[in-house]
Structure 1
Amino acid sequence: MLETGKIFIGTSGMGHQPPGGSEAGEGEYLDLRFANRHGLITGATGTGKTVTLQVLAEGFSKAGVPVFCADIKGDLSGIAAEGVPKDFLLKRAAEIGLQPYLFEAFPAIFWDLYGEKGHRVRATVSEMGPLLLARLMDASEAQEGVLAIAFKIADEGGLPLLDLKDLQALLTYMGEHAGELSTRYGLISKSSLGSIQRALLVLEGQGADQFFGEPALKIADLMRTDAEGRGIVSVLAADRLMMNPRLYGTFLLWLLSELFEELPEIGDPEKPRLVFFFDEAHLLFKDAPRVLLERVEQVVRLIRSKGVGVYFVTQNPLDVPETVLAQLGNRVQHALRAYTPREQKAVKTAAETFRPNPAFDCAEAITELGTGEALVSTLEGKGAPSMVQRTLIRPPSGRVGPISDDERRQLLATSVVAGLYDRDIDRESAYEILNARAAKAQEQVQAEKAAREAEADPPPSRWTLPGFGHQEETQAKTSKPSRAGYQRETVAEAAMKSVARTVASSLGRALVRGILGSLKR
């Protein structure tokens, strides 16, 4: 039943083949050579998508391929524990001919943006970039332009943007110097700045401040294998993260972009270097601007040559844009409901994307599939899609359901990345640099003010005696003598002045008497 170089998905033809068709009990496989051609897992809630995801993740791990997946409900954590032989699992294994059916635990690393159920996951603001940050804040086109200017100023000014307070400090600086910056970079509207700052406060309240910072996640830590050569499964705890779906979608898109930017081209390898499962994929595309959709399409189309396979997991195939849907070669379609016009359209769309099988009507089968049953079509031969088959999905070897809190704590303590991401690092960045520049500028302003005051009213020289300084000389030249000036006269000067006054008075009286006497005669 098992084949080298392939992942066993399940068994098809269980009573659904026409006379002359394929034999019952034919195995359905995912060829590792085409696993980097991406894939799609769809189906309504409760139809078995999570189990299918776990089966594929286990298969990749056994093949030595690292896996990254988001654990929306906590169920995927069971992949790190050995499975328990339950009746419904044993029954399915016997039904599809899976012998021997072995239970085993798989190597796993648990991650969490909030650091509660896994190792902390962080990214810097610079790594996120203005486009994804604008998406995260639901920014307008004008606000996105201001963010682009902010990143440009940071690059040219040597201002590392690591966390939210760095970006907030830079926006404050831009507001204070909007006039001079606008002449160089274009209009910087203070209203746009204010809107961005308010959006950052909202993000901070939603816990995004815990995501931005250092140490930033290293892509190499998602691409590890254990001592036995099995690929390590990185499980992102996303139950709390899903309360902020925009942060969830933006984070996973950032991770894809980082893989795309950092990994070298390797063409089509014998097996992928990493497989990335994007659960609740509709959150990535919902209300996304055109430029972001183009970015996703570009990454999905080109990341294949870097050895990365991307598998979108969602309820409805209509959640994925057609340009992206066309890139997904390996497909597993669980049951869909067809009660509303949109659901009916989804069933029709899903059926039309498969290579038809004359054994059954594909659209009709989609609505009849039971739990753990799916339509499967994978790439084979020279990369052509196989004929769609109605398939019973194999049971997983790991535990079906979540692990306990004690088991999680033990796995975190013995993890290969234990201690690498659990402590915050706050090195000098834009916040500290701008604050230091502002303090230095304030000191310079105060020094210049003090210099101007000293120049207008200089202090007395320490070599000038009291009463003979510059101030006194100026005052003596420009003002009338005061009473204090007379008190500084010597005794001789006072006596001479008194004699002069007496003589003048006697002479005056004598002259007056002479004149009056002559008049009488």
Structure 2
Amino acid sequence: MAKKVSRKTSDKAAAPPSAAPAGAGSIASADTGTAIFVGKGEQPAFLTLGLANRHGLATGATGTGKTVTLQVLAEGFARAGVPVFAADIKGDLSGIAEVGEPKDFILSRAKAMGLQFQPDQFSTIFWDVFGEQGHPVRATVTEMGPLLLSQMLQLNDVQEGVLNVAFRVADEHGLALVDMKDLRALLDAIVPGSAKDDDLDPLQDIRKAAQSFGNVSKATVGTIQRQLLVLENQGGAKFFGEPALQLKDFMRTDSSGRGMINILVADKLMSSPKLYSTFLLWMLSELFEELPEVGDPAKPKLVFFFDEAHLLFDDAPKALMDKIEQVVRLIRSKGVGVYFVTQNPIDVPDKILAQLGNRVQHALRAFTPRDQKAVQAAAQTFRPNPNLDTAQVITELGKGEALVSFLEGNGTPSMVERVMIRPPTARIGPITPDERKAIMNASPVKGKYDTAIDADSAFEILQKRLSNTAAPAGTPGADGAPGEGGGVLGQIGSIVGTVFGTSTPRGKLSTGQVIARSVTRSVTNKVAGDVAASIGKSVGGSLGGSIGRSIVRNVLGSLLRR
């Protein structure tokens, strides 16, 4: 496979002749084409690509080498043509985008394995929920759904029930929930008004619809609104909006056939653990919904690294745990491998742990009786090796050493082995701001997500209804009638609503609906452009055509994503 040409050239980019024995192959050449070379003990340790979608786990105490191991695995998958997504908690993983340096410990480790260090770098796309150190990542409120949003807001059962009512009312009344102000406006709309105002209330139909599902108290809605305020103060409002993320942008290969490495900048995001964990779970859920069944492919379609995985399971309600277990169990048939990264295997619930076939265990500390129990528990997650005292070795491992057990050809885990993890070929450590800027300027998604779009949605529709009380709600031609209204957008809304439908509840998609959504998205991209250009030109010449295309695409996009 052709090597990517570095943006940097320097004398130190090439390893000296003494870096490895004569005739030694490069680290990259140790990969077999069907397996990734991970490290070497008494025997080389390989992760089989055809079994990589059976998921995995990397564990170990802070400072034992988990991040470098994650980088080694990401490099191996990328070389094999597998796109990678990984969260970068400390910024160290960003160095994978730049050429590695032949430092002494890297050269000595490569030499001990009989390999020659050859610097490399990997095509990388940076993402950032806050849009500061990467391309913005957005989703609509509708796409997030009430279950995950309740987890993000840390709502109790009653509050989650009211949120479900709000989503149901939005579906039934054609109210697109795109951003936070849409959800806020809808929550205000479902609160019952005073009886004397009912006859004049422009939102009477919405309030009655909400009450038909049970009592919606003002106090409960107020609590949800306060939790939304907390999320906004943490910067979470930037995550909700349009243009929403298209998952196909995570599943790219570069011009040489290598998988693109997608890095989520998560240092700031980690200050809001619930936002971080719920965002990653949402991504997994979207992948599960949208990707086709592929069974067990020769290599994964995507590998997803979930760092600080314990945050996903801490205080998670049973409904959410059931969803996580279902996604992890079934997503492998979509060709997606999920690799959890955390300190101890006991951080992961047993039902999910049992589905993680490929294991890497770095050192754990055992200074207290509690620590010793944790070490014993970690040792029991491996297939025993009669030549190793697994629990004892876990406490003796040096930096860069690990116990590994990967799935073998018949799908059973190999006996645990002690290995030295091979060194990465890209840079270890963070990149500079200038390097990040250069990478983002060359990104294949540059300009696609960088500017937020605020199209008409629930907030605007409800505001129009409140300001137009003279026209009864639902009257043809009234500004506030959902899906109708006057002017060009009202006509387009009626056509789109008739053709595609807008009332299917989010999170209950059948296989046929998922397929239909994908097909209609691709078809309407062309249709929307042509229709919008025609409409736009009729109202404002060439400038109108450009504006029309933008508006209609957003209207169609909002509807089709629900």
Q: Is the 8 A contact 2:189 2:207 kept in 1?
A: no
Q: AA paired with 2:50? A: R
Equivalent residue for 1:385, pick from 398, 402, 413: 413
Equivalent position of 2:71 in the other structure: 54
Equivalent position of 2:378 in the other structure: 350
Distance in 1, Cα, partners of 2:79 & 2:210: 57
Query: Where in structure 2 are the equivalents of 1:290-329 lying within 5 Å?
Result: 290-329=318-357
- SS state of the match for residue 379, structure 1? coil
Q: Is the 8 A contact 2:166 2:210 kept in 1?
A: no
Larger Rg: 1 or 2?
1
Equivalent residue for 1:109, pick from 119, 125, 134: 125
Equivalent position of 1:147 in the other structure: 163
Q: What number of residue pairs does the alignment pair up?
A: 432
Q: How far did 1:340 drift?
A: 2.9
Distance in 2, Cα, partners of 1:305 & 1:86: 41
Equivalent position of 2:465 in the other structure: 437
Equivalent position of 2:154 in the other structure: 138
Distance in 1, Cα, partners of 2:208 & 2:471: 22
Equivalent position of 2:113 in the other structure: 96
1:424 paired with 2:452, answer: yes
Higher mean alpha-carbon deviation, 78-87 vs 172-181, is at 172-181
- TM-score of the superposed pair, with normalisation by structure 1: 0.81
- TM-score of the superposed pair, with normalisation by structure 2: 0.76
Encode CA deviations 1:144-201: one digit per residue, 9 max, x unaligned. 0000000000001000000000000000101145863454221112211111011111
1:67 paired with 2:80, answer: no
Distance in 2, Cα, partners of 1:144 & 1:30: 42
Equivalent position of 1:124 in the other structure: 140
Query: Where in structure 2 are the equivalents of 1:444-463 lying within 5 Å?
Result: none
Q: Is the 8 A contact 2:125 2:261 kept in 1?
A: yes
Encode CA deviations 1:485-507: one digit per residue, 9 max, x unaligned. xxxxxxxxxxxxxxxxxxxxxxx
Distance in 1, Cα, partners of 2:31 & 2:357: 22
Q: AA paired with 2:417? A: Q
Encode CA deviations 1:286-325: one digit per residue, 9 max, x unaligned. 1111111111000000000000000000011111000100
Q: Is the 8 A contact 1:71 1:237 kept in 2?
A: yes
Q: Is the 8 A contact 1:181 1:188 kept in 2?
A: no
Which runs of at least 4 in structure 1 moved beyond 3 Å after TM superposition? 176-179, 442-445
Distance in 2, Cα, partners of 1:214 & 1:340: 50
Equivalent position of 1:10 in the other structure: 39
Equivalent residue for 1:159, pick from 166, 175, 187: 175
Equivalent position of 1:258 in the other structure: 286
Q: Is the 8 A contact 1:333 1:375 kept in 2?
A: yes
Q: Is the 8 A contact 2:288 2:331 kept in 1?
A: yes
Distance in 2, Cα, partners of 1:349 & 1:222: 35
- SS state of the match for residue 380, structure 1? coil
- SS state of the match for residue 337, structure 2? strand
Q: AA paired with 1:6? A: A
Distance in 2, Cα, partners of 1:321 & 1:109: 32
Q: How far did 1:350 drift?
A: 1.3
Q: Which runs of 5+ in 2 are unaligned?
A: 1-29, 194-205, 474-562
Distance in 2, Cα, partners of 1:179 & 1:33: 53
Q: AA paired with 2:407? A: L
Encode CA deviations 1:189-226: one digit per residue, 9 max, x unaligned. 22111110111111111101111001111100000000
1:225 paired with 2:253, answer: yes
Q: How far did 1:341 drift?
A: 3.4
Distance in 2, Cα, partners of 1:179 & 1:233: 47
Q: Is the 8 A contact 2:169 2:209 kept in 1?
A: no
Change (3 A) 1:29 1:110: same
Distance in 2, Cα, partners of 1:56 & 1:297: 24
Distance in 1, Cα, partners of 2:359 & 2:428: 22
Q: AA paired with 2:31? A: L
Encode CA deviations 1:311-366: one digit per residue, 9 max, x unaligned. 00001111100010000000000000112333222211111111111112000000
Change (3 A) 1:405 1:321: same
Change (3 A) 1:186 1:150: same
Q: Is the 8 A contact 2:402 2:420 kept in 1?
A: yes
Report the identity percentage. Answer: 62
Change (3 A) 1:444 1:216: closer
